[in-house]
Amino acid sequence: MTRLRFWGEGRIIRMNDKKYNFTVLGIYLIGYDLERLEWAINTQHIPNQLATFFEPFRSYEEVHSFEDIGSEAKTHHDMLSNYTEPTVSEETRNSLRGMKTRWDAVIRERLQNLYLVTPQSKIDPKKLIGGIKEFLSEELISFLKKIELTDLTEATSCILVGSATAAEHMILRAAESILRRWYYYKTDIKLEYKTWGAVLRKLSEAYPNEADRPQEIAYLGHLKLRRDEVAHPDRISTLTEAESTLLTVCSLIERVKPVVTSLASKKMSKGKATKK
């Protein structure tokens, strides 16, 4: 993937684990690459030299909605790189001209379905595009349940496009899920139908000695108050509030993980001992 990363610097940006999307610069450079390709088809006679002009298009295999062009570009690049004749035949040139004309029409049509968003967030948009994995270490990511990971990733997308209230809702839902997991590993009891406040109260009660009560429970209490505000039908979040909540929950995850992981480990050890 080294070639793709080098070519994609500024042109494309990763949207998820599998695909890339064009940046504004990338869209601008498509026309430049097509013009260079047309010029090369008409003027470059040596196969290996002509093959190099297909190089930018090969990376389209990794770009959402342009995979077929990338695959076709790779085929032509490999064909020209292994061309048996010293010069490109006119028949091959005509075939490449037709392909370039078709690409031109297809790319224009597909680009009409791309829309420009201008992020207003203070957080680096590149981090938001990368999702929650840009904010947490791999160890912390592995701690999250699938639904928590999904909620937080969707929240980063919401912040990116300015949907602050939706973002906060998803972030706080993930926090509540972590709270419920903590309580389960502490007490071996699931409280699926209890409110955030009820679970938080019972979790506090599970640590009767206030001196032994983890500080993170108080942070969850603060987030519970924030969740109540966000849930109010007359309340609209600002981007600053959504960003602050995201960073707060990321910090909370880092602090809660050792506590919950330790409890989960003890529960697993206890289960193994019981089986014996």
Provide the 3-class DSSP secondary structure of residue 145: coil
CA 149 to chain centre: 10
Distances (CA, A) of 200 to 20, 38, 213: 41, 66, 12
CATH of 125-275, one of 1.10.1660, 1.10.287, 1.10.20, 1.20.120: 1.20.120
Q: Name residues whose C-beta falls within 8 Å of residue 219's C-beta, 6 or more positions apart in sequence.
A: 248, 252, 255
Tokens representing residue 134 in the block: 């840009």
- The number of C-alpha atoms within 13 Å of 77 and in the hemisphere containing its C-beta is 15
Q: Which residue has the higher pLDDT, 156 or 114?
A: 156
Distance of CA 57 to the CA centre of its chain: 24
pLDDT in tens, 201-210: 999 999 988 8
Share above pLDDT 70 across residues of the chain, in percent, rounded to a whole number: 92
CA Rg value for the chain: 27
Q: How many residues does the chain have?
A: 276
Three-class DSSP category at 22: strand
Q: What is the mean pLDDT of residues 182-199?
A: 88
Query: Does the structure show a pLDDT above 50 at 104?
Result: yes
- Tokens of residue 238, six digits: 């600002």
pLDDT (tens digit per residue) in 38-69: 999 999 999 999 999 999 999 898 888 899 99
User: Per-residue pLDDT tens for 6-16?
Assistant: 445 567 766 65
